[in-house]
Copies of this chain bind each other. A is one copy, B any other.
Amino acid sequence: MKARGAVMTARLMLGKDTAAAVKADLDSEIEELKARGIMPRLDIIKVGDKPEDKAYENGARKRFEKLGISLEVTELPESVTEEEFEKTLAQLNEDPLIHGILVFRPLPDGLNEERIARLIAPEKDVDCFSPVNIAKVLTGESGERGFAPCTAEAAIEIGERNGIDFDGKDVTIIGRSMVVGRPLAMMLLQKNATVTTCHTHTRDLAGSCGSADVIIAAAGHAGLVTADMIKDGACVIDIGINVGPDGKLTGDVDFDAVSEKAGMITPVPGGVGGVTTSILARHVVLAAERLAE
């Protein structure tokens, strides 16, 4: 047992390093596209004026500017009708200068999200809104021909960029949300990991974590993963985002204690969250390349 105040032994997996590595790859691809006269472009559809949408938009804009990808935002009022929304979406679907479309969700009650999801052009659907792309996550084809949800892909990316080969690894995911836990399970199977998915009904969370080579926390529950639950040297990827009573951001992992036992760990903030818009950018570039074929 380690004494209190022991030094951190885990190697820190920083989002900015992975983002830089993704950028280095994308730079040459974007250059090639531009040499062919193609300017990669993402259009966001935003309904109403939510602060979290604005924060995401700002983060994406900063990232895209550095990469040289265009970003346009169509703002629609909360009162927008289904018909008006669908007309806007159809215009973006058809515009050959637009490669990626991102619809900020959830949509207001007046709009039929399921119907709209079926209308977005799958080949421009860079954050896995269309059932065509969701289905490809289940069947394991999203990497080759679809688009996986950006946050789930960011978690895998930060692991792989830090040298983790998921093939044959025992990976425990905590959380079964539609946008992270569930797709992650399917995506990691595609990486040949043995995948266990835990959640609120799991009886022995510590047991499932204790045998895992990699733990991915996506439960949205601060301090859920404690040091006694993980094996020495495990890799811990934290996707949780929790706001404490003091307004401080934390993940799902008891970072200070776990980092003394884990082999590798992502901080929150500064970990997976910093990679999400890089993956979004990669999807836009991929969409532009596929559409140009």
Q: Which residues of B contact A197 (CB under 8 A)?
A: 185, 189, 194-196
Contact in complex: B182, A138 (CB < 8 Å): yes
Contact in complex: B208, A178 (CB < 8 Å): no
Interchain CA distance A269-B204 in the complex, whole Å: 34
Which of A44-52, A129-137, A278-286 contacts the other chain?
A129-137
User: Is A143's CB within 8 Å of the partner chain B?
Assistant: no
Q: Which residues of B contact A202 (CB under 8 A)?
A: 168, 194
Q: Which residues of B contact A267 (CB under 8 A)?
A: none
Contact in complex: A167, B135 (CB < 8 Å): no
User: Is A11's CB within 8 Å of the partner chain B?
Assistant: no
With CB as the reference atom, state the residue of chain B lying closest to A138.
B138
With CB as the reference atom, state the residue of chain B lying closest to A137.
B138
Cβ < 8 Å to B, chain A residues 101-122: 118
Interface residues of A toward B: which range? Answer: 35 or more
Q: Which residues of B contact A251 (CB under 8 A)?
A: none
Q: Which residues of B contact A139 (CB under 8 A)?
A: 134, 178, 182
Q: Which residues of B contact A118 (CB under 8 A)?
A: 132
Interchain CA distance A203-B138 in the complex, whole Å: 23
Partner of A203, one of B132, B135, B168, B178: B168
User: Is A79's CB within 8 Å of the partner chain B?
Assistant: no
Distance of A164 from chain B, by nearest CB (Å): 15
Q: Which residues of B contact A194 (CB under 8 A)?
A: 196-199, 201-204, 208
Contact in complex: A196, B195 (CB < 8 Å): yes
Interchain CA distance A201-B192 in the complex, whole Å: 6
Q: Contacts A192-B199, A194-B199, A199-B194 given: A138-B211 contact, CB under 8 Å?
A: no
Q: Which residues of B contact A176 (CB under 8 A)?
A: 140, 189
User: Is A170's CB within 8 Å of the partner chain B?
Assistant: yes
Report 27 cross-chain contacts, Cβ distance below 8 Å, ordered by A residue. Answer: A118-B132, A131-B132, A131-B134, A131-B135, A132-B135, A134-B134, A134-B135, A134-B138, A137-B138, A138-B138, A139-B178, A139-B182, A140-B176, A140-B182, A167-B201, A168-B202, A170-B203, A170-B204, A185-B185, A186-B186, A189-B197, A194-B199, A194-B202, A194-B203, A195-B197, A196-B196, A207-B211
